[in-house]
Amino acid sequence: MAPFDLSRQQQSIESKIVVALERISESFRVMLWQKSKEVGLSPIQIQILIFCHYHSGAMCKVGYLAKEFNMTKATISDSVKVLAAKDLITKQLEPDDSRSYVIKLTAKGMEVVKQTAPFATEMLHSVENLSSLEKTNLFSSLLRMIDHLNQAQIITIQRMCHSCAFYDRRLNGPYCNFLNKALKDKDLRIDCPEHQPLS
């Protein structure tokens, strides 16, 4: 069923939620475009800079970025070339593989991140307006939806607790064997630097 079919949508809360999520996704696109115009970079170039600034070197490679952003390696490589030509990143060659490199931000690249990374601030404000219970419920629902989309292979990369080798489903509730602590709903992570993929 197409959730965008207006005659059916009104009878279906599921369809209304899907359309609401589409509006939210559109907001991200608009906010990123605004930054794009300000700094003269494409949205994906900005996303690469922000991602590489906040993630470890192992993730700042063309192959990983292609999966992260659901794009081809060629598209990511083209963006990386532009970023390098603008002196926003450097390519750090891997000692054991001359075809592979890690993307490192230059001081100029970090300045661009400072300017663009708050692109979703208005979205943050909209979440801040929710009550604690609404935030907890929303977060749990979103995690379950992302889990589903991951299993359906639409989101291929995720670094959440449910797919982590350190995640322990104990009788009295989930536990993280890396942090050595019980995980309440609000402690579950969406992008954990310690995430260990299941083998």
Residue 119 interacting with ligand SF4 (CB under 6 A): no
Residue 194 interacting with ligand SF4 (CB under 6 A): yes
- HSE value, Cβ hemisphere, 13 Å, CA-based, for 132: 2
Would you call 161 helix, strand, or coil by DSSP? Answer: helix
Q: Applying CB under 6 A, which of residues 103, 195, 198, 199 lies at the interface with ligand SF4? A: 195
Residue 164 interacting with ligand SF4 (CB under 6 A): yes
Helix axes 13-39, 121-128, angle to 10 degrees: 140
Cβ-based nearer residue to ligand SF4, 33 or 178: 178
Residue 139 interacting with ligand SF4 (CB under 6 A): no
* Amino acid (one-letter) located at 117: A
Cβ-based nearer residue to ligand SF4, 135 or 195: 195
What is the contact surface with ligand SF4 in residues (CB under 6 A)? 161, 164, 166-167, 176, 178-179, 189, 192, 194-195
